[in-house]
Structure 1
Amino acid sequence: MNNPRLLPASVLSRAGRLLLMLLALTVAACQQAQPPAETAAPEAAKAAYYTCSMHPQIHANGPGSCPICHMDLIRVQPAPVAAPAAKKAASAAVYTCPMHPQVREAQPGSCPICGMDLVKTSSRPAVKMTPAEMAAMPGGNPAANDLILTAQQLELGNIRVQTIGNNSAGSEATGPAEAPAPQALLTGTVTADAQRTQSISSRVAGRVEKLYVRQTGQLLRRGAPLFSVYSEQLETLQREYLLALAQDLQVAEPTYRHFAEATAQKLRLLGVSAGQLRQLARSGKASPLVTYYSPATGTVQTLDVVQGQYVAEGSPLLTLSDLGSVWVEAQLYPADAGRLRLGQSVAVQVVGRARPLRGHVVFLSPELSGASQITLARIQVPNPDGTLQPGAQANVLLDAPAASAATTATAPTQTALRVPQEAIIHDGAASYVWKQTGERQFRRVQVRTSAGTAATVAITGEVRPGDQLVVSGAYLLQSEFTLRQGAGDDHMSGMAM
């Protein structure tokens, strides 16, 4: 074998040094071109942007106006993120419906219930706070569970607060002292008493020549004229009656007298009164028109005929209702069904009247309506002055059951405060109020409700006499809470709006 050609040692030494220099330059260039993700990600997360307080999906690089509601955009500085995993969790978002917060989607779209556009909400994990921790927070500093509104939002949302208290504490009360409040309210409507309502129909076929009643709501006395009708049948019977009376005077046998009595009975069945029969016998002349009169005193509820109209036998013409006594038909839920019994006396608060009225239960429906799963309770209420009108809204006030001795002994000593019904927000089985904790700062507080009237309700919980609660615009705050936190949270994260 031939030996390979060997290169000089000096040439190999120079080639090695060049190769090492090229490798070092390549490593340095790669380190400069690819900075660590841990360094670049926090810098990008710290970038501020401008958004709309009512439409958080709007993002802008500079100040301006919202293209939807034209409110001024506000500057938002996102919190810095320490690690890529935390950055990914903070940037994750869900889309929900403002009216149906139970709808949660990963992509934008429309609400499957009402069709509204879904809005973007944060899905970052929540930090739970106990009521004691919430109460211990100073009201002057933005707490982690508070909403902070702008002056423009306060004005546009008609946010109004009211100081609550009780008479024993000497604080400003929400209203005058009330009697022991009922525990539940049943929504109802005033209706006419069906036992005092009657329908007047045409006894014969004919033409309504004269109509004395021209409008509903007209009060009629017993014996007042209703309408005059022309009927060939009535005219024929009148002639037969007069002929029988004339023949009875000429014949000794009672044959024609019996015929006259039978004809008179037919006229009575067709609505001709005894006075009209006597007048017919005295005049001896059949009338082409027969007038019908009101059988009772009442108010015209319906009018189904016009003057000059041809009517058939049995056609309904009008309805009369005696409003000296009315019904209140209330919606009764199964949970309250055991608290009412026939003949029980209850209080009824009719809209527009300062004082409640007393009535008694006359009917409890034995079945539930299919869709709403509620039953019907009917309360009879005296109405001697006729001021209760059918169709008016009314509330049936159920008296609170007497507490047992054991319950009284173990009941908490916390005094309930009465607040307006508009201040309570119901979210499933929980109830909340919005308490003002600063100049434009509000906090959602869970409470327990008990006795209530048509205007106020008693609450206990993290509220004290002298607290200022939102009584107008609470639902707007609740909607903003839903948009900020998502459907599954039951707390509030601080965020300037």
Structure 2
Amino acid sequence: MKILILFSFLLFGCTNHKDGHGTTETASEHASHTYYTCSMHPQVRESEPGKCPICHMNLTKVVSQPDDEASTPAKEESKLYACKDDATITSPSPTICPIDGEEMVEVTSSGAGEVVAKLTLSKTQVTHFDAKVFEASTMQMTKDVRLLGNVMQAQEKESNIPLRVDGRVEKVYIKSEGEFVKKGDPVVDIYSPTLISAGEEYIIARKQVSKEANKKDYRDLLRQSEERLTNWGINESQREQWFSDGEVKRTITIYSPTSGIVTARNAVKGKYFKEGQSLFDLVDLSTVWVEMDVYEVDSALVQNGQDVSLRFSALPGKILKSKLDFVSPVIDLKTRTLKVRATIDNEDGALKIGMVADGSLQVNLNSDELVVPRSVVVDTGKRKIIWIQTGDRKFEAKTIRTGHIAGSFIQVIEGLSAGDKIVEKGNFLLDAQAQLFGGYLE
């Protein structure tokens, strides 16, 4: 900024000179005002050449026309009224709130739209000032929201293989965690007196039905026995084998009722399990979750059902499509991010738990808002300012309130009107000139 202020001296400061045709100074130039100031401390103004009392640099001569000085006319204090329970509903004058029917209360104005500096350039200055101006207008903005996350197992796909009757493990078929188990695969052999007794009852009941099929009591007994064995994990082929052999073996094989990858191997030979205890914990990875973080500044833009594109470093050149199906209602206090989630098919098993995912989603912003290039906004830290051309040689700085940023454009929520002539090229020189003349109100 200091370099711009110095350059502003060179561009705008020397107005008392002869033109290319050798003409002498005009009467208006005789009316010019001359003073000496410091390029680093523009608040210093002396009538004689010398050194800056602050930094001891040589003072620079400035010759300005009477209308060259930046003016900051007194502004009437603006008032704003809003509903007590909804501050977004406002009015420039006191009235009744349409929400609760009560009187609106006075609130502090945002200050957007206030003119904080004015400049009038001399004809000589204009010849050296190549400003690029465009008219403020609305535009449909599409923001690309970036998401970063990782693949994780879908909680609704978690399951286990419980032992449905008390018993002791005699043999374990699954060797380690991470092994894939299909539905119907043998998992353990157990010894269970309760199960053996139920199997023997089944054999007796079936033999009785074979002899006296018309007796309802025998049929009911057989049906109850079959249901009990089924609930305990014994399938039809096992029952048929028992009936064929006429006995129940001492150890009975238990088969998996579901498919998945083993995440916990609890079954150990010789270990006794009570009814309901888990032999193995499984997860089905045919469908996985991709959990991602959204920066707080973009958190209001995401919602369920939005399309999301996902890229994985392990799958170069491949883009997977999904939709957001969960948006957390809580911002993480440590990371200041919002958790979102998408579900994606993984039948081929290409996605592994823990893989890093790079996601993006397109959000169409409100097309009714004015949009300007980000480069035209001068952000002082305290406020955001845009320079507007109000005449052939007249410019003024106005405060604005901005909205979302998308690429090289930014929304202007308040402070501009459609058709305002925005200075794009040269706005920082105008800012430096205003600071040089102390034109800004602090």
When normalised by structure 2's length, the TM-score is 0.49
More strand by share: 2
When normalised by structure 1's length, the TM-score is 0.44
More helix by share: 1
